[in-house]
């Protein structure tokens, strides 16, 4: 039951009875009562004055008296100017509590019949996943679960950027310097090994660029274009697109190393995809659409053979779609994959989780698809997010200064271990249990710290700050859940079962004010799920989860539970704890966080 919906319906009934008019629904405005006033829900009287033909206070008073007289769920009301503050009875909150308790589907919204595709991760096969990828991955996977909780069918996809000049750079460096090194011979994860050669190429390019710049007295950006090693990489890309066997075999071998490395990282993060696309298999689809655009007169071919789309009349720029040598660019394959996906799945929406540095790219993508005649282009949504920075500055892949995802997870594990040992939260656990807990807490801290920040904001990630058992962190929520489960285990040992008291037994003594506040918060969970889904913001779920954990801890500190003398009240409180634990698990699951049974 939604309190605002209840008051909306009853207010509509009251207006019709009092004034003989069926009010326009837009005129019935409700909101949560402000904290400085007594009440649960506030009805705003001002929009109703044309109907009542009375002053704001008189209108609110008349409607308040009618509601209290005709609804036993309303305990009292007060009027502040034109605002009718309504306080519900304990009976009302007991009914809500009873409706939530034991409802396994609580928080799962009804099916919408809509199919939404979410693309995230989308790594390049020239380096391992790093901290920036982690924000993308965690945001994409949590948004997917959030949309599922909103009743949508969600298809989670990954587009692997497995071709292009950046891939050839790693390949060329390995060919020149690798001496046959493999993940097995080196003992390195495959993605780390390939990333090593990407850095090696960049170092050689820097060296050649500096030499040319000095010799010819030209700027570095001009000198880089003349660097022999860059020309070699460009030739290798052309050979790849022409199907040269030696280049293709090298590409297959090195990419396979990377995929094996990615799979290990994904598994540890708890990430999976319903389908993986590869740019090497989709870029030709884009070329076909480029030809369609030329035939339609939407695109133009220049003298050097390159193909462009002029978007200047739309307030944008001229966009390259094919290079003069016939090779494609990023947007070429994006056009192809978008067309393929909407054709295959009849999508209602396609969400791309991509950093904010690509905002312009997605503006262009949607506009070009519209020019090609695809109305579904309006269903494309770019979930843009800010970059992740470290206390010591930004990361740069080419310079090898990124924080690898694997190294970061190891660091989180070790920090969780160190913190847990210091706090002595390992009583009775063997080594295997302890290691599972360290992994759970470390990854919980990482996920929560990243997801709790609004996606649009650039964030500073501090591993040490993320593992704090007393702050707005994943470990605080995990410890709260473990504390609740500990109480419930003790209750079970004492033969105490949770049970919501029958409404007719409610006599004003079953619920404390704090318990009503918690019931309100719990009852608001489906509303938060809906609002977070509409905003594509798991951060709203993270903040809700923290508020619920915080409310429980305050309640636990001030309230006797197992030592409560009244058996009915005690059973009620155990049922409340069971419900809190259940909602914590559900909300944390949307974030991809596992809550331990004990700590």
Q: Where are the domains of the chain?
A: 3-88, 115-389, 405-590
Checking DSSP bridges between strand 74-80 and strand 41-44, what pairing results, if any? unpaired
Q: Do domains 3-88 and 405-590 have the same CATH topology?
A: no
Q: Which CATH architecture has domain 115-389?
A: 3-Layer(aba) Sandwich (3.40)
Cα distance between residue 25 and residue 9, in whole Å:
10
Summary mean pLDDT of the chain: 92
pLDDT given for residue 401 in this prediction: 53
Cα distance between residue 383 and residue 60, in whole Å:
43
φ/ψ (deg, to 5) at 134 = -60, -40
Give me the residue label for tokens 């993270």: 542
pLDDT given for residue 392 in this prediction: 62
CATH number 3.40.50.360 is the correct assignment for the domain at 3-88: no
Virtual torsion, Cα 506, 509, 512, 516, nearest 10 deg: 20
Q: E strands of 139-271, at which residues? A: 153-160
Buried b (16+ CB within 10 A) or exposed e, 103-116: eeebbeeeeeeeeb
Q: How far is CA 83 from CA 33, 67, 322, 522, in A?
A: 9, 14, 62, 25
Checking DSSP bridges between strand 300-301 and strand 459-460, what pairing results, if any? unpaired
pLDDT given for residue 519 in this prediction: 96
Helices 567-590, 90-100: inter-axial angle, 10-degree rounding: 50
Contact 30, 63 (CB under 8 A): no
Point out the residues of the chain with pLDDT beneath 70.
1, 392-402, 425, 503-509
pLDDT in tens, 84-103: 999 999 989 999 999 999 89
Task: Tell me how crowded residue 187 is: count the other CB atoms within 10 A of its CB.
Answer: 8
- Tell me which DSSP letter residue 130 carries: B
pLDDT given for residue 284 in this prediction: 80
Q: For CA atoms 262, 263, 266, 268, give the dihedral sign.
A: negative
Residues in the chain: 599
Helix %, strand %, coil % of the chain (to 5): 60, 10, 30
Contact 42, 82 (CB under 8 A): no
CA nearest to 148, candidates 586, 594, 595, 593: 586
What's the CATH number of domain 405-590, 1.10.10.10, 1.10.730.10, 3.20.20.70, 3.30.1390.20? 1.10.730.10
Alpha helices (H) along 329-473: 330-345, 359-371, 405-423, 431-451, 463-466
């Amino acid at each position: 039951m939604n309190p605002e919906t209840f008051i909306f319906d009853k207010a509509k009934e009251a207006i019709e009875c009092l004034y003989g008019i069926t009010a326009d629904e837009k005129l019935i405005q409700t909101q949560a009562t402000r904290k400085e006033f007594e009440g649960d829900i506030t009805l705003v009287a001002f929009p109703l004055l044309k109907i009542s033909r009375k002053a704001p206070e008189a209108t609110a008073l008349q409607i308040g008296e009618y509601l209290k007289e005709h609804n036993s769920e309303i305990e009292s009301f007060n009027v502040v100017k034109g605002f009718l503050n309504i306080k519900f009875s304990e009976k009302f909150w007991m009914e809500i509590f009873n409706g939530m308790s034991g409802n396994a589907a609580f928080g799962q919204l009804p099916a919408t019949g809509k199919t939404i595709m979410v693309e995230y991760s989308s790594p390049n096969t020239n380096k391992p996943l790093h901290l920036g990828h982690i924000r993308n991955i965690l945001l994409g996977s949590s948004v997917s679960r959030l949309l599922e909780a909103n009743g949508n069918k969600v298809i989670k996809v990954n587009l692997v950027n497995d071709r292009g000049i950046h891939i050839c750079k790693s390949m060329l460096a390995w060919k020149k310097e690798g001496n046959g090194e493999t993940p097995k011979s080196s003992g390195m994860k495959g993605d780390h090994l390939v990333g090593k050669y990407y850095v090696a190429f960049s170092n050689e390019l820097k060296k050649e660029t500096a030499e040319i710049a000095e010799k010819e007295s030209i700027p570095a950006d001009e000198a880089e274009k003349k660097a022999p090693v860059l020309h070699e990489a460009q030739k290798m890309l052309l050979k790849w697109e022409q199907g040269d066997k030696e280049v293709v075999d090298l590409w297959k071998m090195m990419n396979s190393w990377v995929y094996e490395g990615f799979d290990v990282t994904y598994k540890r993060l708890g990430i999976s995809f319903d389908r993986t696309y590869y740019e090497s298999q989709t870029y030709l689809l884009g070329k076909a659409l480029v030809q369609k655009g030329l035939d339609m007169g939407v695109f133009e071919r220049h003298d050097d053979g390159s193909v462009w789309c002029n978007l200047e009349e739309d307030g944008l720029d001229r966009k390259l779609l094919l290079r003069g040598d016939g090779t494609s660019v990023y947007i070429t394959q994006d056009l192809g994959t978008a067309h393929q996906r909407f054709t295959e799945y009849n999508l209602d929406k396609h969400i791309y989780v991509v950093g904010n540095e690509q905002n312009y790219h997605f503006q262009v993508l949607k506009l070009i698809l519209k020019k090609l005649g695809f109305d579904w282009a309006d269903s494309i949504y770019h979930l843009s997010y800010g970059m992740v920075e470290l206390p010591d500055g930004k990361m740069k892949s080419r310079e090898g200064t990124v924080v690898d995802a694997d190294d970061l997870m190891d660091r989180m594990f070790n920090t969780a271990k160190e913190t847990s040992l210091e706090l002595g939260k390992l009583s009775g656990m063997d080594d295997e249990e302890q290691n599972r807990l360290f992994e759970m807490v470390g990854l919980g801290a990482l996920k929560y710290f990243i997801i709790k920040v609004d996606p649009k904001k650039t964030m500073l990630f501090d591993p040490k700050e993320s593992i704090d058992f007393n702050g707005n962190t994943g470990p605080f929520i995990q410890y709260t859940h473990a504390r609740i489960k500990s109480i419930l285990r003790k209750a079970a040992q004492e033969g105490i079962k949770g049970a919501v008291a029958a409404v007719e037994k409610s006599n004003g003594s079953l619920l404390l004010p704090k318990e009503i506040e918690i019931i309100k918060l719990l009852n608001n969970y489906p509303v938060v799920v809906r609002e977070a889904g509409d905003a594509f913001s798991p951060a709203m779920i993270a903040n809700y989860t923290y508020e619920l954990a915080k409310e429980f801890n305050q309640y636990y500190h001030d309230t006797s539970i197992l030592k409560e003398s009244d058996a009915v009240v005690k059973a009620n409180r155990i049922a409340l704890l069971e419900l809190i634990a259940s909602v914590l698990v559900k909300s944390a699951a949307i974030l991809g966080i596992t809550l331990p049974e004990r700590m």
